[in-house]
Amino acid sequence: MSVDIQSVGVVGAGQMGNGIAHVFALAGYDVTITDISEEALNDAITTIEKNLSRQVSRDKITEAEMKAAMSRIVTTLKLTDLGSHDLIIEAATERETVKNAIFEDLIPHLKPHTILTSNTSSISITRLASRTDRPEKFMGFHFMNPVPVMQLVELIRGIATDAETYQSLLAVVEKLGKTAASAEDFPAFIVNRILMPMINEAVYTLYEGVGNVRSIDESMKLGANHPMGPLELADFIGLDTCLAIMNVLHDGLADTKYRPCPLLTKYVEAGWLGLKTQRGFYDYRGDVPVPTR
């Protein structure tokens, strides 16, 4: 018996949180977004409206569907307001202590059937679940960025997750019109387990002087048919995120092939985190991105 999910609470109004709220509202769910910042919540609503408008202009959805989706989204600064929802998706900062604190605050306010999920890209689902009162109703629900565009959702079962919870989320992914990939709970799951070492290897290729930024990206775009070069993609994801996931892989699997490239660490130390700080492997402060190496 899977749970009938009608209402969804999203914790975190950042890039991932607002994208998740967008696709759920469009699929007919009532959505509440919470964040510790009023400004972040306002920005999220503006972004969702802008992204829905873009879908209308491209004839992906109708004006009426956009209006209906916007009417299903509410925001709150009170985390506990999410307690009455059927499904909670935590999309806060990729730090385990932050995630644990959020679940701890939420638990006393949840309904018995509420499913808890995390949009983490690399943290152990089993470990996060074990700190809650419902490890059997806890899963990894990993959306890809940008959420409205990307087709894949990774579903990650912890060691205690029951079949009913998994079936419920499988049905949700289908209703969203996306495709589920089931992953076991090992460091970085499927996508990042494969993608991040490739990005890290591209940084090593740069670090060792085998190619410059442009030649590495062009090689993978034109030689392997990748839509974006690995260094360009790293800038888009955020170099701090890439480094954090490489560290999770290196710590969790204890294999030297996952050792983060010292140059990646150096860029993060410089605060050159990619697109979000205007500088990474490219400098985005001018009209066109210019390689920084």
Q: What is the pLDDT of residue 207?
A: 98
Name the token pair of 109.
């306010």
Cβ-contact 241, 94 below 8 angstroms: yes
| Eight-state DSSP code of residue 59 | T
Out of 184, 215, 233, a domain closes at 184
| Number of Cβ within a 10 Å radius of residue 78 | 10
Identify the CATH number of the domain in which residue 178 sits.
3.40.50.720
Integer Cα distance of 128 and 36 in angstroms: 21
Nearest to 11 by CA among 113, 72, 93, 86: 93
Query: Quick check: is 1 in a domain?
Result: no
Print the domain residue range for 166.
Answer: 7-184
Cβ-contact 258, 219 below 8 angstroms: no
Out of 136, 156, 184, a domain closes at 184
Q: Greatest CA span in the chain, whole angstroms?
A: 57
Name the token pair of 93.
């900062």
Integer Cα distance of 37 and 240 in angstroms: 22
Q: What is the pLDDT of residue 2?
A: 73
pTM for this entry: 0.92
What does each of the 293 residues of the chain score in pLDDT, given as a tens digit? 677 899 999 999 999 999 999 999 999 999 999 999 999 999 999 999 999 999 999 999 999 999 999 999 999 999 999 999 999 999 998 889 999 999 999 999 999 999 999 999 889 999 999 999 999 999 999 999 999 999 999 999 999 999 999 999 999 999 999 999 999 999 999 999 999 999 999 999 999 999 999 999 999 999 999 999 999 999 999 999 999 999 999 999 999 999 999 999 999 999 999 999 999 999 999 999 999 99
Q: What is the pLDDT of residue 3?
A: 79
- From residue 211, alpha-carbon distances to 19, 228, 242, 293 in Å are 35, 17, 20, 10
* Helices 63-71/15-26 angle, 10° precision: 110
Q: Total structural domains in the chain?
A: 2
Integer Cα distance of 223 and 231 in angstroms: 15
> Both 161 and 248 in a single domain?
no
> Both 144 and 199 in a single domain?
no
The tokens 């029951």 sit on which residue? 162
CB proximity list for 249: less than 8 A, separation 6 or greater: 122, 187, 188, 192, 193, 196, 197, 258
Query: Quick check: is 171 in a domain?
Result: yes
> Both 20 and 69 in a single domain?
yes
Query: Quick check: is 189 in a domain?
Result: no
Q: What is the pLDDT of residue 94?
A: 85
CB proximity list for 227: less than 8 A, separation 6 or greater: 221
Integer Cα distance of 185 and 222 in angstroms: 34
Integer Cα distance of 243 and 269 in angstroms: 11
Provide, for the chain, the percentages of residues in helix, strand and coil under a 3-state DSSP scheme, each rounded to the nearest 5: 50, 15, 35
Out of 156, 184, 212, a domain closes at 184
> Both 120 and 216 in a single domain?
no
Catalytic residues: 121, 142, 154, 192
